[in-house]
């Protein structure tokens, strides 16, 4: 079985922005030690040193915007995009950094769930939670835990 890590990121205290954390907790509960997991606020350059050792990296995040679908699962290419000041990286930029520094390019996916409520609080909105549960099933499929 492929060695997989799921990285859920976002602000746990801003409701749906914490959907990545929720997904990681559910993956831990359902997959046990067969999948490694990380929860974090944002992606940083130092995580390239972590993901270089995995076959599959799955990023779980909230999405806010005009896209219609509530859940998007897409494979990621290692592509660097620069922003002026931000200290965090987008997942495709993190992959590009990993590729360039460590010559390792794990297979990567982004699982993003649309968020509806970003108010202060730790509960997901009903609709985001429903799709987060579906996202967990997709992640288990991607990592070969279930079909």
Partner 1 sequence: MGKKIAIEPVTRIEGHARVTIHVDDDGKVENAYLHIDQFRGFEKFSEGRMYYEMPQITPRICGICPVSHHLGSAKACDAVSGIEPPRTASLLRELMHMGQTIQSHAMHFFHLAGPDLLFSFDADPKIRNVIGIVQVNPTLATKAVMLRKFGQEIIKTLGGKKIHPVFAVAGGVNNVLTEEERDTILKDMDEHIAFIQQGIEIAKRWVRDNMETVETFAVFPTGYMGLVKEDGALELYEGKIRLIGPEGEPWELFDPSDYLEYIGEHVEDWSYLKFPFYKKLGYPDGVYRVGPLGRLNVADKISTPLANEEFKNFKAINEGKPVEGSLWYHYARLIETLYAMERVKELLDDPDILSNDIRAYGGELQSEGVGCVEAPRGTLLHHYKVDEGGKLLKVNLIIATGHNNWAMSKSVDDVAKQYVDGNNLTEGMLNRVEVAIRAYDPCLSCSTHALGKMPIILEMYDKDGNLLDQITRDSKE
- Catalog residues that contact partner 1 under the rule CB under 8 A: 9-11, 13-14, 17, 39-42, 44-46, 48-49, 61-64, 80-88, 90, 96-97, 100-102, 115, 118
Closest CB to partner 1 among residues 34, 42: 42
Q: Least distance from C-beta 75 to partner 1, angstroms?
A: 19
Q: Can you tell me the distance from the alpha carbon of 93 to that of 19, in angstroms, rounded to the nearest whole number?
A: 21
Closest CB to partner 1 among residues 1, 74: 74
Helical segments of the chain, H only: 19-31, 48-51, 91-102, 126-142
Closest CB to partner 1 among residues 41, 72: 41
Tokens representing 125 are: 């909105």
Q: Least distance from C-beta 104 to partner 1, angstroms?
A: 12
C-beta separation of 87 from 44 below 8 A? yes
Query: Tokens 């944002």 — which residue?
Result: 42
């Amino acid at each position: 079985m492929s060695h997989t890590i799921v990285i859920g990121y976002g602000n746990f205290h801003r409701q749906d922005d914490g959907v990545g954390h929720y997904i990681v907790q559910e993956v831990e509960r359902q997959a046990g030690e067969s999948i490694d997991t990380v929860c974090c606020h944002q992606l940083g350059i130092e995580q390239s040193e972590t993901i270089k050792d995995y076959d599959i990296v799955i990023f779980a995040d909230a999405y806010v915007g005009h896209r219609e679908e509530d859940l998007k699962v897409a494979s990621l290419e290692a592509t660097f995009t620069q922003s002026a000041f931000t200290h965090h990286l987008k997942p495709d930029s993190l992959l590009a950094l990993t590729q360039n520094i460590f010559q390792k390019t794990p297979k990567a996916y982004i699982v993003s769930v649309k968020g509806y409520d970003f108010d202060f609080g730790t509960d997901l909105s009903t609709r985001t939670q429903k799709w987060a549960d579906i996202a967990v099933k997709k992640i288990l499929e991607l990592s070969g835990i279930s079909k």
